[in-house]
Structure 1
């Protein structure tokens, strides 16, 4: 992606901000600056930028289990905050996360927030500072700020060092450039971040959908399909054996959406609203696969070929929820025996399941206690 040209600014150096990036901090720091500048702010404290970084990383770490980098302080801080404050949900509103960070008096969290400011505020602009090399960077923060403030045409400069209350001042011409070209800059930044995260998480699908807060998913077609089936036969969900009704039915991703980042029909199963909420983005124990096969074959596959109206509703789902012609043929062609169907479904879902487990998605089993607390 090419950034818009400017006669006044050195866009070549801007385009090199993320060259040779081995840690995630630069992406989150610059993303926070861009967000604040777009809001119209040009004087920003370390603390408000760090809080923005943590809130932006929250969903990637807690909801999606993404690896942000080797020995990553930001990732570890997010886990620490979640451990100390379990009431903060994986899908928590960004404003609630920032409010907590502003008001916390937890000394460990505050100390680790400060740690995030030791290098990235200074190193980010290194492409602009051609005269600083090697040991020039290995000095105290006060001296480093003094040296950087003598450089010309940087994106931002520093006030006197005062811990998390230290202020950076984004220069007017750069602020105008960011505001004028905000959509392109955001797209460029997301592209660079996706490239980095894909390298750090080579086996994780749907990275592009995991750099933003979770969005509401459209599963009404699949729910309508299963509600039709409920008018023809009784259906028990697979986790707790609860009888499904038109009022309590909910659609669950067997392998969590937070890992697969898609709504493919072979991974969607009916359960109750309460159990779906209790399971959340956890990975169910593999023993449930037997019940999954039984339900999918007896209550879905067989009825597709038994009732025309079920087949018609299934075909409506296919357009949005089966994106592979190969999988549709293998799993939904007429005439499969129970053993053949089980084999095909296992060959599709087991590699995805194993990969999710390797990425840290926890093993979950149903309990009435979890259901009541959900």
Structure 2
């Protein structure tokens, strides 16, 4: 396929035979796919605790969270909702979907990692991890409230199922967290068992912790 034209460090020249040059040109998409696949395997093997290696290397151009936002907006029409960071009552005009563990680390939009907040707070949080001791309990309570409403109201249940098709990619997690008739303590334990390992992994990779501060503090 090829041979070296003298070994001279980084200046070493490699000569590829003409018939293989033609093959690479004609099948460059296949070769590129094979190279990318093996590069992902190589990196993932050496970074076993880091999720979404493929999505980090080739991130999607946009995040499609409108269905999640629609789900929370529906809940707002039934009961008031306070976001977990500043405890502000949310409105349909100023709602933003936050990744509890930053998207830049998880590279996915799984529903169990998403919660509603305001646009300004989401921007201030940026790519930081919320202080676990302060915010996880609040997250669990907010998600449990939505969980209860999902089982109480058919319209909320319908919107949840739409979101689940796109934003819950593991049926085992869906069964553990969102199964009917579980109490808050069990719900909190199951949610923690899913999020905490990812949170700790992000922390070990250098993501900083964050605590909400009002602008006038």
Name the TM tier (shorter chain): 0.7 to 0.9
Alignment partner, residue 292 of structure 1: 139
Residues 321 and 152 (structure 1), Cα distance of their counterparts in 2 relative to 1, 3 Å cut = closer
Contact between 2:101 and 2:129, CA under 8 Å: does it hold in 1?
A: yes
Contact between 2:5 and 2:15, CA under 8 Å: does it hold in 1?
A: no
Give 1:284 shift.
1.2
Give 1:184 shift.
2.1
Alignment partner, residue 158 of structure 2: 312
Give 1:181 shift.
3.2
Whether 1:153 aligns to 2:15 is: yes
The correspondence of residues 60-209 of structure 1 with structure 2, limited to 5 A, is 128-129=3-4, 132=7, 137=9, 145=11, 148=12, 153=15, 174=21, 179-209=25-55
The correspondence of residues 1-374 of structure 1 with structure 2, limited to 5 A, is 10=1, 13=2, 128-129=3-4, 132=7, 137=9, 145=11, 148=12, 153=15, 174=21, 179-286=25-132, 287-298=134-145, 300-369=146-215
Task: Supply the distance in 2 between the matched residues of 1:277 and 1:269 (Cα, whole angstroms).
Answer: 14
Contact between 2:74 and 2:156, CA under 8 Å: does it hold in 1?
A: yes
Residues 356 and 184 (structure 1), Cα distance of their counterparts in 2 relative to 1, 3 Å cut = same
Is the partner of 1:354 in helix, strand or coil? helix
Is the partner of 2:93 in helix, strand or coil? coil
Alignment partner, residue 117 of structure 1: none
Deviation string for 1:177-205 (max 9, x for gaps)?
A: 65543322321331232123213322111
Unaligned runs of 5+ residues in structure 2 are: none
Task: Supply the distance in 2 between the matched residues of 1:320 and 1:362 (Cα, whole angstroms).
Answer: 29
Give 1:215 shift.
2.3
Cα RMSD of the aligned pairs, angstroms, is 2.5
Contact between 2:130 and 2:211, CA under 8 Å: does it hold in 1?
A: yes
Give 1:214 shift.
5.0
Residues 152 and 222 (structure 1), Cα distance of their counterparts in 2 relative to 1, 3 Å cut = closer
Give 1:244 shift.
0.9
Task: Supply the distance in 1 between the matched residues of 2:176 and 2:45 (Cα, whole angstroms).
Answer: 32
Give 1:268 shift.
0.8
Task: Supply the distance in 1 between the matched residues of 2:120 and 2:210 (Cα, whole angstroms).
Answer: 15
Task: Supply the distance in 2 between the matched residues of 1:152 and 1:198 (Cα, whole angstroms).
Answer: 29
Task: Supply the distance in 1 between the matched residues of 2:32 and 2:120 (Cα, whole angstroms).
Answer: 38
Choose 1 or 2 for highest CA Rg.
Answer: 1
Task: Supply the distance in 2 between the matched residues of 1:224 and 1:304 (Cα, whole angstroms).
Answer: 14
Task: Supply the distance in 2 between the matched residues of 1:152 and 1:260 (Cα, whole angstroms).
Answer: 39
Task: Supply the distance in 1 between the matched residues of 2:158 and 2:175 (Cα, whole angstroms).
Answer: 17
Unaligned runs of 5+ residues in structure 1 are: 1-9, 14-127, 138-143, 156-170
Higher RCO (CA < 8 A, seq sep 6+)? 2
Number of equivalenced pairs: 214
Task: Supply the distance in 2 between the matched residues of 1:316 and 1:198 (Cα, whole angstroms).
Answer: 31
Task: Supply the distance in 2 between the matched residues of 1:339 and 1:192 (Cα, whole angstroms).
Answer: 43
Normalising by the residue count of structure 1, what TM-score does the alignment of the two structures yield?
0.52
